[in-house]
């Protein structure tokens, strides 16, 4: 079901920890902890302006700090503000984000009684060394315990992961994503670690003891994780931080792979891999002048940011001309292949089929040498 979120940010409030990457005030672009009146005002402002899709519902989400690390009385006070909107039917339920070690049966009972439906756990990594170096203050075992409690009580489970933390590697991030599929979460978010002003990570960066991922590394690793999670049925609902004024204006961001359209970059990388997989799968049956078809709404992802995918496909397809065509289609996320003079694809690789080809995709690399082929991009009804 389509869910429209009303976000309420509670920066750093209630959190006794100091994770190396965290300065919540910079990340949310908000220094003030909202009071009851502020929360009410935010909810009403959203309710007046949001367009809820047919069949969709509205959720109020407490993001930012660690909601369940607040005192029970404070949690109750915040949740009480939302109840009239639930009773009137304007809001369907509440979502909170919190730390895995701030979950217990009493807390879950309180959340349940105030119509909290989803709990997002800021897990970040399932590698004990990475968790320890990030100063998270809990272990992988504690994450599993929290997940078991949340699931046993029937809440929808969200898992937030961070890639590129100190001590992290692409392999560890991939392993973390694989392990997360065993938790069968309903949703996941992927955030590349950024160096934010006034954090311990900023100190480590200046001392040269921490190197953030490049944007390219972050996109490639996030694409690995996206494919694993989505392939196992977990919806990845966000990749990369919201581009707040602090982040885009450069005041909060010291270094790291921030991009305002990070999620789009990752999805473009996934489309590239899917196209390569399709070409590989249909191999010698393909015509010299090859046309890649996609839903026209996916065309920009297929072409890639500044034509990056087009360039890489050109390097890969040495046989002849290669064009990319967007056509009208009720379905998304497929890649079709055909001859460039055809209007419709002859072969289609759907996303689910692509996910099942992951062993094969790992061995596919675009050739490094320049190709003789010419790439034409044509977007519109094919």
Residue ranges in contact with ligand SF4 by CB under 6 A: 12, 15, 17-19, 22, 24, 65-66, 99, 122
What minimum distance in Å lies between the beta carbon of 19 and ligand SF4? 3
What minimum distance in Å lies between the beta carbon of 312 and ligand SF4? 36
CA–CA gap between residue 318 and residue 42 (Å, rounded): 55
What minimum distance in Å lies between the beta carbon of 95 and ligand SF4? 16
* Closer residue to ligand SF4 in complex, CB, 17/259: 17
Instruction: Look at the block and give the residue holding tokens 């320890």.
Output: 132
* Closer residue to ligand SF4 in complex, CB, 18/360: 18
* Closer residue to ligand SF4 in complex, CB, 13/144: 13
Contact between 103 and 164 under an 8 Å Cβ cutoff? The reply is: no
DSSP annotation string for 9-50:
EE-STT-----TT--HHHHHT--SPP-HHHHHHHHHHHHHH-
Residue 360 CB neighbours (<10 A) = 13
Which run of H or E residues covers position 376? strand 375-379
Q: Name 7's Cβ contacts closer than 8 Å, sequence gap at least 6.
A: 61, 63
What minimum distance in Å lies between the beta carbon of 193 and ligand SF4? 11
* Closer residue to ligand SF4 in complex, CB, 92/159: 159
* Closer residue to ligand SF4 in complex, CB, 15/94: 15
CA–CA gap between residue 251 and residue 35 (Å, rounded): 26
What minimum distance in Å lies between the beta carbon of 20 and ligand SF4? 9
Structural tokens at position 164: 């590129």
Contact between 216 and 272 under an 8 Å Cβ cutoff? The reply is: no
* Closer residue to ligand SF4 in complex, CB, 20/266: 20
* Closer residue to ligand SF4 in complex, CB, 11/338: 11
What minimum distance in Å lies between the beta carbon of 78 and ligand SF4? 16
* Closer residue to ligand SF4 in complex, CB, 99/189: 99
* Closer residue to ligand SF4 in complex, CB, 199/295: 199
DSSP annotation string for 235-284:
EEEEES----HHHHTTSSEEES---TTHHHHHHHHHHHHHHHHHHHHHGG
What minimum distance in Å lies between the beta carbon of 124 and ligand SF4? 8
What minimum distance in Å lies between the beta carbon of 184 and ligand SF4? 24
CA–CA gap between residue 71 and residue 178 (Å, rounded): 34
What minimum distance in Å lies between the beta carbon of 337 and ligand SF4? 45
Backbone φ, ψ for residue 342 (5° rounding): -85, 155
> Sign of the CA dihedral 162, 67, 13, 70?
negative
Helix axis angle for 105-113 and 140-152, nearest 10°, is 40
């Amino acid at each position: 079901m389509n869910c429209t979120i009303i976000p309420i940010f509670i920066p750093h409030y209630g959190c006794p920890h100091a994770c190396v990457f965290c300065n919540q005030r910079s990340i949310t672009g908000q220094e003030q902890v909202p009071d009851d009146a502020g929360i009410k005002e935010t909810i009403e402002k959203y309710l007046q302006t949001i367009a809820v899709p047919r069949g969709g519902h509205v959720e109020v989400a407490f993001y930012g700090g660690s909601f369940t690390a607040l005192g029970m009385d404070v949690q109750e006070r915040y949740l009480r503000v939302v109840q009239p909107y639930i009773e009137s039917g304007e809001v369907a339920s509440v979502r909170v984000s919190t730390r895995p070690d701030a979950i217990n049966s009493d807390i879950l009972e309180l959340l349940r009684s105030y119509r909290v439906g989803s709990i997002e756990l800021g897990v970040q990594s399932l590698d004990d060394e990475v968790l320890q170096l990030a100063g998270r203050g809990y272990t992988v075992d504690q994450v599993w315990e929290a997940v078991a409690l949340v699931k046993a009580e029937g809440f929808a489970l969200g898992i937030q992961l961070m890639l590129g933390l100190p001590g992290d590697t692409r392999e560890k991030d991939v392993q973390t994503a694989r392990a997360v599929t065993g938790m069968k979460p309903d949703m996941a978010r992927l955030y590349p670690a950024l160096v934010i002003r006034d954090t311990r990570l900023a100190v480590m960066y200046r001392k040269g003891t921490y190197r953030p991922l490049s944007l390219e590394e972050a996109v490639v690793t996030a694409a690995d994780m996206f494919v694993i999670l989505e392939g196992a049925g977990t919806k990845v609902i966000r990749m990369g931080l919201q581009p707040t004024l602090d982040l885009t204006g450069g005041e909060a961001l010291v270094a790291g792979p921030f991009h305002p359209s990070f999620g789009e970059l990752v999805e473009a990388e996934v489309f590239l891999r899917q196209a390569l997989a399709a070409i590989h799968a249909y191999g010698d049956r393909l015509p010299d002048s090859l046309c890649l078809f996609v839903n026209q709404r996916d065309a920009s992802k297929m072409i890639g940011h500044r034509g990056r995918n087009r360039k890489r496909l050109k390097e890969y397809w040495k046989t002849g001309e290669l064009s990319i065509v967007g056509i009208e289609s009720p379905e998304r996320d497929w890649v079709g292949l055909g001859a460039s003079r055809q209007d419709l694809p002859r072969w289609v690789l759907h996303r689910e089929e692509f996910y099942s080809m992951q062993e094969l995709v790992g061995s596919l690399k675009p050739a490094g040498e320049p190709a003789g082929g010419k790439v034409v991009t044509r977007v519109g009804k094919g």
